[in-house]
Structure 1
Amino acid sequence: MDKLSTRKALIESRLDMPDRLARADLLQRVMRIWLVGRSDEVIGAYWPIKGEFDPLPALYRWQEDAILSQESASSQAPGQEGWAQLATQSMANRSPRRIGLPVVDKLRKTLTFHAWYPGCPMEEDAYGIPKPKDTEEIMPTLLFVPCVG
């Protein structure tokens, strides 16, 4: 079997797994536990396609945990105006932790990572995969990479 046929068969097999969602749920929980206490401030991941595991909810929780830790460490709770200001700020802008998604430049044959957050404007890249639109380039110190088989 050639590489393309093998890849296609593995993707079909992944999509046909009867317990795929249960496995994804378990992997989310394992990933959240594994991320606790990590010193990384920028993690690169991927936009899941073709039944790939989605790491983004666990990463968003990791990002959110840093904010909650900062806010609980603060000796004073913000006043009413402070809470209103916090509510209007993006979670990503308040966290010292960043999540990056790949941006492929097909012409230059380069791969960079750009900041991502839930609700981030997205557009399709040259391969039809969503990527962050007009966000800053960031440099991950840890990568989560999907594999086919």
Structure 2
Amino acid sequence: MAGEGSNPTPDRPDGPPPELSREVSQWRVAERKRLIDQRLAMSADERTARTRTIAEGLDRLIGAPQGRIVSLYWPFRGEPDLRQWSEKVIAAGGRIALPVVIAKAQPLEFRLWAPGEPLERGVWNILVPSGGRVVEPDIVVSPVVGFDSANYRLGYGGGFYDRTLAAMRKRPLKLGVGYAGARLATIHPHSLDIPMDAIVTDE
């Protein structure tokens, strides 16, 4: 889910892993700010065009979504807005779920949702389904602040996606999405980071 904390670069709720050094923690904070500022500086038209290319990449990777549950996210702070693509998934026989923060240091909950169904403000003011059956998605599409060539994602620092993926009973297809300019040489991953199966960008 976009917005994994009460500010753009929150500390991990249960504290950073012991092997994450102070230098790396500070570097991550600085990179998050730089990359978020970078995408917010894009015009709305540029973000729309880049998001369209990302959606085409998702289509190629996922193929026919019929009968599958795809977890998306509510866009936040200039992230690719895939809400229009979600309508295409539903039209092709797939279903959409949105992540919901239940509590600090706990896995996310995925709730089925379709455009037009009621939403409410959740933790940190992010829109989440008011109802919707709780499910485990077949495909998890998660936004990245940054990413590296090993498919590790730099998120907002809350650790929610990593914690959730580690707790899921079935192994979903894990796809990160972001703009190509968010590529880093490395995010300096630690033991709790879980790599994506692929990162889809506008390139």
2 CA distance for matches of 1:45 and 1:38?
Answer: 13
What amino acid does structure 1 have at the position aligned with 2:49?
A: A
Asked if the contact 1:32–1:58 (Cα under 8 Å) also holds between the matched residues in 2, the reply is: no
1:11 and 2:8 aligned: no
Gaps of at least 5 residues in structure 1 are 67-96
Aligned to 1:114: 111
**8 Å contact 1:44–1:142 — kept in the other structure?**
yes
Identity %: 29
Q: Could you say which structure has the larger radius of gyration? A: 1
CA displacement 1:10-51 (0-9 Å, x = unmatched): 101011135333211222233334443246511111111001
Tell me which residue corresponds to 1:45: 72
CA distance in structure 1 between the partners assigned to 2:27 and 2:121 by the alignment: 29
Instruction: Write the mapping of 1:14-33 to structure 2, written as runs, cut at 5 A.
Output: 14-18=39-43, 19-33=46-60
Instruction: Give the total of aligned pairs.
Output: 119
User: What secondary structure does 1:110 align onto?
Assistant: coil
Unaligned runs of at least 5 residues, structure 2:
1-25, 147-203
Aligned to 1:148: 145
Q: C-alpha distance in 2, partners of 1:110/1:31?
A: 25
Output the amino acid matched with 1:55.
Answer: L
Q: Which amino acid letter does the alignment assign opposite residue 143 of structure 1? A: V
- Compute the TM-score of the two structures, normalised by the length of structure 2: 0.52
SS of 1:26's equivalent in the other structure is helix
When the two chains are superposed, the root-mean-square deviation of aligned CA atoms in Å is: 2.1
Q: Give the SS at the match of 1:123.
A: strand
Using the size of structure 1 for normalisation, the TM-score is: 0.69
Aligned to 2:98: 101
**Hey, what's the Cα distance between the residues in 2 that align with 1:33 and 1:9?**
30
